Amino acid sequence: MGKGKAKIANSIRTLRFHAGEMTQAELAQRVGVTRQTILAMEQGRYSPSLEVAFRIARVFGISIEEAFQYEGETSN
């Protein structure tokens, strides 16, 4: 493990847009997290667990790589 912080980007905002402007609340309810957590993910303040990432990808019917992108490590 390096000293930097792993940075995982996501396309959740875009995916919600293309899913008929699905609300954060609806996505949160379908994934089983809070709306605040969806908001934090969209703003890049939180990287979800693998399980939640898979659940989000499943909601949109895509692979996990299409929803989340690993951007390497950023130094703190």
Give min distance, CB of 45 to another protein, in A: 3
Give min distance, CB of 57 to another protein, in A: 16
Residues in touch with another protein (CB under 8 A): 32-37, 40, 43-46, 48-49, 52
For another protein, which is the closer residue by CB, 7 or 18?
A: 7
Find where tokens 């130094």 sit. Answer: 75
The secondary structure of residue 61, as a DSSP letter, is T
Give min distance, CB of 43 to another protein, in A: 8
CB atoms within 10 A of CB 44: 12
d(CA 26, CA 51): 18
